[in-house]
Structure 1
Amino acid sequence: MPHSSFFAAPLALLCLCAPLASAAPQDLNQVRGAVADWLDAQLAPTPNASYQLGEIDRRLRLEACQQLDLQLPQGYRLAGKTMVRVRCVAGARWAINHPVTIAINATYYVAARPLAAGHTLQAGDLATQQGDLAQLPGSVILDPAHAIGRVLNSPVAQGGPLRSELLRAGMVIRQNQRVRLIFRSEGLEVSNEGIALNAAAVGETVRVRVGNQQIISGLARQDGMVDAGP
């Protein structure tokens, strides 16, 4: 911007500018390049990620910086329309937010047909979809293993994305079911049978009545057995 037009700018624009120093001002293209390098490093482990840099306000006049520090501002994430916080930590004292847009194309899972609440998901209930994760809930299912065998808390329409908060673990033990308890101690394993007093999903506590009086608590396993200790 020519020197004469700078002084002709309205007062509202002047407030965006740092006081002019005798040294050359910070090269904003250098700041832009630093943001690009930081994003390249941050997104390197993420397949199919791309970004577009927004524009820095060219009316800014920043003192020349010797060392920049870059990070995400609190509450922002590396997806969608976001910001990168650029701070000068040596040679000057200033900070700006640089706008960026990040797209992450990925395969996620949706309902292959209308699914009712209480339904236990099977492989045939899932269909794949391609999309930008920045436009989807952060809890969308990306791995079918995180959905198959789990139970829906609420109905999902055909094509609706499957999300982790909609799912709960399926019951592997039913109340009044006969189960096998496994006891392990110092390398020895002993088993016994009993009646489950409550239903339980994998990893949940189940109380088992053994004989007429004894009640033992343990953790439900995927195979329907109960780990009873130690």
Structure 2
Amino acid sequence: MQKYIFALAVSLLCTISLAGPAKQDLNIVQKEIEQWLEAALANSPGVPSYSVNKLDPKLQLDACNLMEIGLPQGYRLIGKTMLRVKCIEGASWSINAPTQISMQVQYVTAARPMGANQTLGEADLMVQRGDLGTLPGSVILEPNQAIGRTLNTAVSAGQPIRKEQLRAAIVIQQNQRVKVVYREDGLEIHNEGIALSNAAEGAVVRVRVGGNLILSGTAQAGGLVEVGP
């Protein structure tokens, strides 16, 4: 009897050994990917939708207690992309999951053909809707991001307006008389001067104050130059 029990125990141990570690349920991996995407896209600028390729059912992965999901280097969370799933507790494996992400957004286009150096007004712009994944990555999404700025290059009607096509409008002209404001620790001193060059809003401009004093400050709308310590 004892020999029988011993043989049975040995047989069970062999069976367990041959069975190996538990395998990962791929449906759980798929669900983890979808939950990660829902969270990552929650604060998107538009209306997102996505599809994740089904994992190969032949894939044999050891059971994982904790997974880490992210974008491999060089991939964006838009268009045809890739997610990487890595087990960081309980096993050691990583897989890639091909994913397609669409994002319906409002974006800004040219209402008519316009030339370089033209300052944009509300009537020059038109709003359309489309998939952000098919648009240039730097496309302007809100008209107020373009109004008052100047085109660097010519654009055709219907062309998406991109950030690199715009520069801040010139607010100070060379030889213009400007108001100079110096601020430091609550102290505010006002003076007048002559701008030595053209300057866009937010750009640094040099101003001559009095006979020989040259100051550098930040150009603001309304012919104002702010000078700090």
Fold equivalence (TM over 0.5): yes
Secondary structure of 1:33's counterpart equals helix
Secondary structure of 2:208's counterpart equals strand
| Residue number in structure 2 paired with 1:218 | 217
Equivalent residues of 2:177, 2:223 under 8 A apart: no
CA distance in 2 between counterparts of 1:64 and 1:188 reads 66
Equivalent residues of 2:109, 2:126 under 8 A apart: yes
**Equivalent residues in 2 for 1:126-137, closer than 5 Å:** 126-137=125-136
Shift of 1:183: 2.2
Find the structure with the greater CA-based Rg. Answer: 2
The one-letter amino acid paired with 1:112 is A
Equivalent residues of 1:54, 1:99 under 8 A apart: yes
CA distance in 2 between counterparts of 1:36 and 1:51 reads 9
Structure-2 change in CA distance of 1:31 and 1:196 (3 Å): same
TM-score of the two chains, using structure 1 as the length reference: 0.86
Q: Root-mean-square deviation (CA), in Å? A: 1.6
TM-score of the two chains, using structure 2 as the length reference: 0.87
Equivalent residues of 1:21, 1:63 under 8 A apart: no
CA distance in 2 between counterparts of 1:150 and 1:158 reads 17
| Residue number in structure 1 paired with 2:36 | 38
Structure-2 change in CA distance of 1:210 and 1:66 (3 Å): closer
Count of residue correspondences: 211
Shift of 1:185: 4.1
| Residue number in structure 2 paired with 1:209 | 208
Secondary structure of 1:103's counterpart equals strand
CA distance in 2 between counterparts of 1:161 and 1:108 reads 7
CA distance in 2 between counterparts of 1:100 and 1:217 reads 51
Shift of 1:214: 2.4
Shift of 1:223: 2.4
CA distance in 1 between counterparts of 2:129 and 2:185 reads 51
CA distance in 2 between counterparts of 1:21 and 1:53 reads 31
Q: Give the stretch that moved more between structures: 151-160 or 206-215.
A: 206-215
